[in-house]
């Protein structure tokens, strides 16, 4: 049922059912106590309803009742409802308060421990840093954004870049992205980020030193969306992009590359894309490897040209970028655009939904974990404003501005950070594409002079579409342009307008809220925004004063701003919080003064442009007052218009790109550590390209034998495993990551492994819990699979949380040999071994050869001894707290890249997320895994895992 109509309909139902209403003396609820009655049911539904938006409406209806009895019943129910709402709000506030206090304590403790660790060698200067760290941001107002334009240093950088030829990968996941006629505001997914990434890709490709930019996104071949989103590749034309240096990069250009993943014929909203991220990573990896090879031939003298950075935009693409940067060992960059923790806090503050409800709608906890992973994995995080760092990123476990500065100072002085790392946060606001604005600014000035009527040029069609709504189209236009998303808070704007008589008299209101054909076909969240607005227009009888056109094209947007400016109107963005606010710089560029929320990016924008007023978005009266002030005060209006136009050049893509590239160039170069194999005569072993495509099947023995707690008929596993190619039964890694496909890779450097080249199928056997019957089961599986096909064509990989000595024990107890498997992914993905007859290949003298390239490949941010010491302290604190030995370090099983701990009492252990959180608070980056039925904890490098090891694409160029 739309809106809160259910409340009134339940009240109607109560009145219809009506038992006991005659008894005027007793309370409705007391009267019904003890036995089921429909009245009681409806009353309870009403009073436990948790939304206050229609309380006023219920009140109006109750007050209008003629019958005293009916009125009293309604009022009585309203009292219950208000009481219940207040109680729930209080309870939520209490819970929130406790949560925040707990968080504060945890962070303080974490920071204390980190500081204590590093205290021995604190230099004097550093000690000073600790006090008043935050206030050190006291840069001047302009200074805060000055990074945008202080590009002098960039000139020398540009000279250096001439020699370089960068390949940059950007990722924006959901797929509704194209270069021309972007469908902005189409739904909740198509917002500013779409425009941002396309314009960034285009601008980067024109920079000196940049050879190619790929913007990876989802390929959607579905009748739900335009065919253009199904094209595998789209070149992004640079159009009239200006480059301040007039130095176009020697570039092969910018491209949108569409990777198919997720359901084939369906658009999937961003909240539902999470389970498909690993599939995207596999597709993207193939593309990047292929492209690096092609670029290597074009500009790398035959050596692959790896991406200089993989840059994820928004949490979902950040998650993917982290995995890709881990697999390829190249730097990761991240831009949040909008952050989950902040969104969660805002929604909780509104008090309308519980944490669980918010999570169910927005999958917000998954999103927050992805953002934490971005902090773990990124070298640089790009924000649009300083507010984003100080107010939003600081809400995360993995980021603390104080610790960040401290670590940076230590690195500068060459002092140890004891395995601690923080990404570098850099404020680089987005830019504007000015080429299509400049042409109109002259017109605008003549519009202002009132010359347009004789100018002979035709009005843009969108003007007519808007003006047809107005009784008096010449009044100043208040313009809002945003996605129909509740957080944009357009309903408060309509209320502010509707309830302010002078404003209604002096101005019109134009609402551009995306495109719609049929409200019933919109997503429920978008539809509810539109419906509430339509109801408010009706309620305040705003017909003739508000325009809400159903459609507009991207090319209409400049004309919409121009129309508002021509009428001496004002742009308004009243969002509860706006991370940056592209519309504000767009409005400024068209000479339109602004009223904007004081929460988020607009504060920084306003500081630079000084072209309007900031308001509290919850304060309806303040919104109306600010709008009235700007519209009515002609001098103020003109000053704001001029200020905006004068300073808008500070938001320029070329300046953005220069700072961006300088930052990226400062990252320590990293690239895959695997050695290029000697292609020699091995190439001939692959009979045909098809033959080299191997299917990987993951028979999850851990699932079958330990988690299920019951034995499975092993032969069934074989049948599934040998099922048709389309029906591959993929398993789950211990972290729940999908394990899918070995990237066409095999191993080199060891004669034994050359045999793998002949494999047509590779089966990955994932095992976690050694049980007494496991060796025999393994043996049976291997034999059965070999019998089912020519044994030469089948290869096996063991993927396990066990260490290599445990694997050896397991094999020996089942009379299996190390040569029965082609490779072993051990210690939860932190080591790879191959069978070897030469015992010198293995540090422990066992018949395995360790992959020596793998450890340096996954080493990024590995905390080593500093991390181990913190873990040991954590172990002691758990044992102390429990008063008994709950967990202990297992030195024998620990390796250089896997710290192993034995758990004695699984039920006395804190959940794994607590340990992850603690590590992050202390800036220690690692992957914590509870494995072997919660009897062991393995702590390994942050981007290592068993699933990631399967993507390790060693010597892919041989195939
Ligand atoms: O009906 C519409 C609605 C929006 N837009 C355009 O879509 C963009 C919207 O961007 P923005 O106002 O910045 O908001 P979001 O869509 O919410 O974008 C997110 O990402 C942006 C880029 O990082 C940030 O500026 C925002 O704060 C952040 O919320 C602008 O270019 C608008 O012109 C349209 O063309 N038509
Ligand atoms: O999910 P949120 O926090 O509302 O964020 C909005 C963001 O999502 C997007 O719609 C991208 O998927 C963006 O365009 C915008 O940056």
Asked if residue 332 and residue 419 are part of one domain, the reply reads yes
Q: Which of 312, 482, 564 should be mutated for ligand 1, with most atoms under 8 A from CB?
A: 482
By residue range, what is the domain housing residue 934?
A: 861-942
Q: Does residue 7 lie in a domain region?
A: no
- Burial degree of 222 (CB within 10 A; 0-12, 13-18, 19+): middle
Q: Does residue 543 lie in a domain region?
A: yes
Distance from Cα 179 to the centre of ligand 2, integer Å: 18
Q: Which of 192, 199, 385, 465 should be mutated for ligand 1, with most atoms under 8 A from CB?
A: 192
Distance from Cα 581 to the centre of ligand 1, integer Å: 6
pLDDT for the residue 239: 64
Does any ligand 1 atom lie closer than 6 A to the CB of residue 189? no
Q: Does residue 139 lie in a domain region?
A: no
Output Rg (C-alpha) for the chain, integer angstroms. 31
Asked if residue 420 and residue 469 are part of one domain, the reply reads no
156 versus 785: the higher-pLDDT residue is 785
Pairwise CA distance, residues 889 & 535, whole Å: 64
Distance from Cα 522 to the centre of ligand 1, integer Å: 19
Distance from Cα 367 to the centre of ligand 1, integer Å: 20
Q: Which of 183, 312, 583, 590 should be mutated for ligand 1, with most atoms under 8 A from CB?
A: 583
Distance from Cα 259 to the centre of ligand 2, integer Å: 20
Q: Which of 176, 185, 188, 485 should be mutated for ligand 2, with most atoms under 8 A from CB?
A: 188
Main-chain dihedrals φ then ψ at residue 263, nearest 5 degrees: -55, 135
Q: Which of 178, 189, 525 should be mutated for ligand 2, with most atoms under 8 A from CB?
A: 189
Q: Does residue 809 lie in a domain region?
A: yes
| Mean pLDDT value of segment 895-914 | 94
533 versus 698: the higher-pLDDT residue is 533
Distance from Cα 583 to the centre of ligand 1, integer Å: 6
pLDDT at residue 135 greater than cutoff 50: no
| Mean pLDDT value of segment 435-451 | 51
Q: Does residue 320 lie in a domain region?
A: yes
Does any ligand 1 atom lie closer than 6 A to the CB of residue 579? yes
Pairwise CA distance, residues 843 & 74, whole Å: 80
Query: Which atom belonging to ligand 1 lies closest to the Cα atom of 582?
Result: 13
Does any ligand 1 atom lie closer than 6 A to the CB of residue 586? yes
Q: How confident is the model at residue 404 (pLDDT cuts 50, 70, 90)?
A: very high
Instruction: Considering every ligand atom shown, identify the ligand nearest to the alpha carbon of residue 271 and give its number.
Output: 2
Asked if residue 495 and residue 627 are part of one domain, the reply reads yes
Q: Which of 183, 193, 272, 601 should be mutated for ligand 2, with most atoms under 8 A from CB?
A: 193
Q: Does residue 709 lie in a domain region?
A: no
Does any ligand 1 atom lie closer than 6 A to the CB of residue 192? yes
Closest residue to atom 7 of ligand 2, CA basis: 338
Closest residue to atom 10 of ligand 2, CA basis: 189
pLDDT for the residue 759: 75
pLDDT at residue 738 greater than cutoff 90: no
Q: Does residue 681 lie in a domain region?
A: no
Q: What is the mean pLDDT of the chain?
A: 80
Q: How confident is the model at residue 42 (pLDDT cuts 50, 70, 90)?
A: low
Per-position DSSP letters for 736-796, written without gaps between them: S-EE----S----SSGGGGGGGG-SEEEEEEE----TTHHHHHHHHHHHHHHHS-GGGEEE
Domain count, the chain: 5
**Cα separations in angstroms, 345 against 93, 353, 399:** 11, 11, 17
Asked if residue 607 and residue 584 are part of one domain, the reply reads yes
Please say which residue of 836, 853, 870 terminates a domain: 853
Do 946 and 938 meet the contact criterion of CB atoms below 8 Å apart? Answer: no
pLDDT for the residue 959: 32
Asked if residue 276 and residue 421 are part of one domain, the reply reads yes
Please say which residue of 379, 406, 427 terminates a domain: 427
Asked if residue 493 and residue 344 are part of one domain, the reply reads no
Closest-CA residue to 199 (of 603, 588, 556, 582): 582
Q: Does residue 144 lie in a domain region?
A: no
Distance from Cα 274 to the centre of ligand 2, integer Å: 15
Distance from Cα 481 to the centre of ligand 1, integer Å: 8
Q: pLDDT tens, 288-324?
A: 999 999 999 999 999 999 999 999 999 999 999 999 9
Does any ligand 1 atom lie closer than 6 A to the CB of residue 481? yes
pLDDT at residue 938 greater than cutoff 50: yes
Asked if residue 321 and residue 404 are part of one domain, the reply reads yes
Q: pLDDT tens, 492-517?
A: 999 999 999 999 999 999 999 999 99
pLDDT for the residue 159: 53
Query: Which atom belonging to ligand 2 lies closest to the Cα atom of 483?
Result: 10
Supply the CATH number for residue 285's domain.
3.40.50.2000
ipTM value for the complex? 0.97
DSSP strand pairing (424-427 vs 546-547)? unpaired
Residue found by looking up tokens 């206050």 in the block: 52
Closest-CA residue to 763 (of 730, 790, 736): 730
- Burial degree of 635 (CB within 10 A; 0-12, 13-18, 19+): exposed
Query: Which atom belonging to ligand 2 lies closest to the Cα atom of 579?
Result: 16
pLDDT for the residue 93: 75
Distance from Cα 192 to the centre of ligand 1, integer Å: 3
Q: pLDDT tens, 671-703?
A: 888 765 443 333 333 333 232 323 333 333 333
Q: Which residues line ligand 2 (CB under 6 A)?
A: 174, 188-189, 191-194, 270, 314, 337-338, 343, 485, 487
Q: pLDDT tens, 534-546?
A: 999 999 999 999 9
Asked if residue 94 and residue 223 are part of one domain, the reply reads no
Distance from Cα 288 to the centre of ligand 1, integer Å: 29
Asked if residue 515 and residue 554 are part of one domain, the reply reads yes
Does any ligand 1 atom lie closer than 6 A to the CB of residue 195? yes
Q: pLDDT tens, 6-28?
A: 566 666 666 665 544 444 444 44
The strand pairing partners of 511, in sequence order, are: 480
Q: State the first-to-last Cα distance of the chain, in angstroms, to the nearest integer.
A: 58
Please say which residue of 610, 638, 662 terminates a domain: 662
pLDDT for the residue 124: 42
Q: pLDDT tens, 825-880?
A: 999 999 999 998 776 666 677 899 999 899 999 999 999 999 999 999 999 999 99
Asked if residue 870 and residue 842 are part of one domain, the reply reads no
Instruction: Considering every ligand atom shown, identify the ligand nearest to the alpha carbon of residue 431 and give its number.
Output: 1
Closest residue to atom 9 of ligand 1, CA basis: 192
Do 857 and 672 meet the contact criterion of CB atoms below 8 Å apart? Answer: yes
Does any ligand 1 atom lie closer than 6 A to the CB of residue 343? no
- What share of the chain has pLDDT > 90, as a percent? 57
Distance from Cα 749 to the centre of ligand 1, integer Å: 52
Do 866 and 419 meet the contact criterion of CB atoms below 8 Å apart? Answer: yes
Asked if residue 497 and residue 386 are part of one domain, the reply reads no
| Mean pLDDT value of segment 174-188 | 91
Asked if residue 901 and residue 807 are part of one domain, the reply reads no
Q: How confident is the model at residue 327 (pLDDT cuts 50, 70, 90)?
A: very high
């Amino acid at each position: 049922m739309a809106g809160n109509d259910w409340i009134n309909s339940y009240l109607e139902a109560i009145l219809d059912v009506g038992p006991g209403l005659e008894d005027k003396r007793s309370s409705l609820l007391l009267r019904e106590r003890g036995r089921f009655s429909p009245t009681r049911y409806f009353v309870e539904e009403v009073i436990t309803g948790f939304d206050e938006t229609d309380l006023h409406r219920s009140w109006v209806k109750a007050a209008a009742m003629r019958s005293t009895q009916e009125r009293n019943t309604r009022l009585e129910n309203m009292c219950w409802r208000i009481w219940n709402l207040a109680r729930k709000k209080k309870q939520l506030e209490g819970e929130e308060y406790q949560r925040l206090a707990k968080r504060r304590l945890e962070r303080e403790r974490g920071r204390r421990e980190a500081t204590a660790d590093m205290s021995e060698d604190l230099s004097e200067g550093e000690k000073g840093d600790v006090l008043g760290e935050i206030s050190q941001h006291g840069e001047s107002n302009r200074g805060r954004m000055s990074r945008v334009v202080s590009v002098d240093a960039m000139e020398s950088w540009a000279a250096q870049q001439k020699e370089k030829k960068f390949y940059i990968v950007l990722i924006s996941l959901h797929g509704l992205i194209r270069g021309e006629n972007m469908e902005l505001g189409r739904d909740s997914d198509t917002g500013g980020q779409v425009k941002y990434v396309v314009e960034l890709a285009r601008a980067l490709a024109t920079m000196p030193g940049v050879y190619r930019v790929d913007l990876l996104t989802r390929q959607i071949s579905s009748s739900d969306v335009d065919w253009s989103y199904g094209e595998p590749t789209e070149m992004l034309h640079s159009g009239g992009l200006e480059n301040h240096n007039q130095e176009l990069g020697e570039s092969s250009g910018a491209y949108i590359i569409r990777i198919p993943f997720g359901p084939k014929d369906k658009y999937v909203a961003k909240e539902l894309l999470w389970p498909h991220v690993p599939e995207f990573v596999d597709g993207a990896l193939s593309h990047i490897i292929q492209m690096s090879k092609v670029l290597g031939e074009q500009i790398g003298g035959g050596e692959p040209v790896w991406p200089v950075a993989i840059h994820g935009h928004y949490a979902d693409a950040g998650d993917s970028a982290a995995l890709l940067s881990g697999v390829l060992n190249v730097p990761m960059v991240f831009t949040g655009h909008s952050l989950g923790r902040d969104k969660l806090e805002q929604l909780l503050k509104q008090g309308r939904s519980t944490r669980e409800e918010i999570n169910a709608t927005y999958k917000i906890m998954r999103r927050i974990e992805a953002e934490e992973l971005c902090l773990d994995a990124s070298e640089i995080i790009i924000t649009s404003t300083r507010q984003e760092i100080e107010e939003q990123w600081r809400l995360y476990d993995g980021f603390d501005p104080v610790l960040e500065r401290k670590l940076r100072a230590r690195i500068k002085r060459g002092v140890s950070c004891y395995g601690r790392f923080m990404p570098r946060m850099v404020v680089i606001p987005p830019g504007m594409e000015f080429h299509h604005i400049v042409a109109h600014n002259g017109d605008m000035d003549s519009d202002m002079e009132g010359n347009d009527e004789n100018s002979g040029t035709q009005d843009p069609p969108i003007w007519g579409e808007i003006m047809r709504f107005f009784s008096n189209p010449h009044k100043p236009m208040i313009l809002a342009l945003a996605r129909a998303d509740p957080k944009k808070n357009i309903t408060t704007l309509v209320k502010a307008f509707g309830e302010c008589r002078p404003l209604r008299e002096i101005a019109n209101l134009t609402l551009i809220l995306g495109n719609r054909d049929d409200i019933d076909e919109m997503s429920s969240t978008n539809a509810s925004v539109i419906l509430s607005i339509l109801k408010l227009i009706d309620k305040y009888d705003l017909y003739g004063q508000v325009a809400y056109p159903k459609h507009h094209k991207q090319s209409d947007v400049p004309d919409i701003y121009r129309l508002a400016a021509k009428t001496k109107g004002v742009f308004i963005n009243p969002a509860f919080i706006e991370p940056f606010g592209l519309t504000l710089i767009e409005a400024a560029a068209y000479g339109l003064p602004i009223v904007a929320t004081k929460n988020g990016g607009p504060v920084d924008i306003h500081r630079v442009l000084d072209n309007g007023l900031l308001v509290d978005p919850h304060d309806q009266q303040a919104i109306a007052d600010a709008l009235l002030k700007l519209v009515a005060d002609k001098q103020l209006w003109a000053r704001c218009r001029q200020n905006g136009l004068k300073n808008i050049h500070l938001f320029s893509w070329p300046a953005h790109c220069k700072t961006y590239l300088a930052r990226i160039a400062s990252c320590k170069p990293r690239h895959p550590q695997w050695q290029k194999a000697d292609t020699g005569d091995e190439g001939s072993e692959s009979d045909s390209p098809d033959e080299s495509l191997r299917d990987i099947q993951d028979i999850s023995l851990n699932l079958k034998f330990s988690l299920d707690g019951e034995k499975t008929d092993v032969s069934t596993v074989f049948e599934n495993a040998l099922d048709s190619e389309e029906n591959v039964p993929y398993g789950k890694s211990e972290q729940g990551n999908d394990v899918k496909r070995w990237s066409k890779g095999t191993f080199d450097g060891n004669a034994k492994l050359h045999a793998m080249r002949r494999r047509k199928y590779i089966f990955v056997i994932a095992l976690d819990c050694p049980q007494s019957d496991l060796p025999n089961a393994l043996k049976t599986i291997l034999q059965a699979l070999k019998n089912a096909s020519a044994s030469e064509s089948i290869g096996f990989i063991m993927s396990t949380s066990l260490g290599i000595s445990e694997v050896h024990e397991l094999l020996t107890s089942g009379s299996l040999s190390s040569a029965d498997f082609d490779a072993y992914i051990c210690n939860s993905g932190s080591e790879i071994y191959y069978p070897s007859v030469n015992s010198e290949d293995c540090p422990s003298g066992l018949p395995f050869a360790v992959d020596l390239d793998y450890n340096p490949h996954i080493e990024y941010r590995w905390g080593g001894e500093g991390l181990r010491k913190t873990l040991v302290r954590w172990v002691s604190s758990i044992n102390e707290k429990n008063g008994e030995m709950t967990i202990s370090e297992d030195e024998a099983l620990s390796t250089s890249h896997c710290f192993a701990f034995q758990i004695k009492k699984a039920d006395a252990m804190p959940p794994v997320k607590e340990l992850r959180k603690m590590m992050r608070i202390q800036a220690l980056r690692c992957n914590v895994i509870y494995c072997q039925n919660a009897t062991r904890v393995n702590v390994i490098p942050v981007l290592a895992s068993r699933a990631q090891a399967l993507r390790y694409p060693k010597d892919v160029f041989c195939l």
